[in-house]
Amino acid sequence: GQQLNQSPQSMFIQEGEDVSMNCTSSSIFNTWLWYKQEPGEGPVLLIALYKAGELTSNGRLTAQFGITRKDSFLNISASIPSDVGIYFCAGTTFPTGTASKLTFGTGTRLQVTL
Amino acid sequence: GAGVSQSPRYKVAKRGQDVALRCDPISGHVSLFWYQQALGQGPEFLTYFQNEAQLDKSGLPSDRFFAERPEGSVSTLKIQRTQQEDSAVYLCASSLLQGGGGYTFGSGTRLTVV
């Protein structure tokens, strides 16, 4: 099935550094979401974006919904060891199309060193 | 319970065996989704229920896959005659409302077909 393209695929950073990752799609979405998944757990919602151009923050996390509605990015500022995990973007065409069916990205694996 | 509960957490099946995976959504949640997550990939949509109605099953990979939610709460994903390519984590998610992406995911069932 379709998966959105995320980059980078993985990254090693030092504690305190800022992190940027992005997600691109060949099709338009009406809602963009960012999830974090830790080993043995399901994805946990971090940020939801509902409007093209929207910039939303959640603590040290900031995400933007691209103007073209085909991309989004996530920034993490001042990373800490507990930021380790896999970050997934996801898009949905809701409220049009199949209600709330999510298309996920390929994931960015983040590892933080002390 | 407070979250989405999935059982079993781990399942090893011999090729050709039938398996049944259970999802207990958050009480009162209308929407229920099943996703399949292969190793190193993002989750992929399988099927969607609104209450007891299965509104979208377009992601089910073959007719060996069957899902039901007869009373609009607990859901079961059944896989008949399992194949090695069915090995994956099966995630269930539920939501109070129809859309917007604000789902709560369970921890998943890791299925290994040997």
HEC secondary structure over B51-100 = CCEEEECCCCCCCCEEEECCCCCCEEEEECCCCHHHCEEEEEEEECCCCC
Contacts of A107 in chain B (CB under 8 A): 40-42
Using one digit for the tens of pLDDT, what is the confidence trace for A1-42?
678 999 999 999 999 999 999 999 999 999 899 999 999 999
Q: Rounded distance, CA A103 to CA A5, Å? A: 11
Q: Do A90 and B101 touch (CB under 8 A)?
A: yes
CA count, 13 A, side-chain hemisphere, A94: 20
Q: What is the mean pLDDT of chain B?
A: 94
The predicted structure's pLDDT at residue A58: 94
Rounded mean pLDDT, A72-92? 96
pLDDT for residue B96 is more than 90: no
Tell me which chain A residue has its CA closest to the CA of residue B9.
Answer: A40
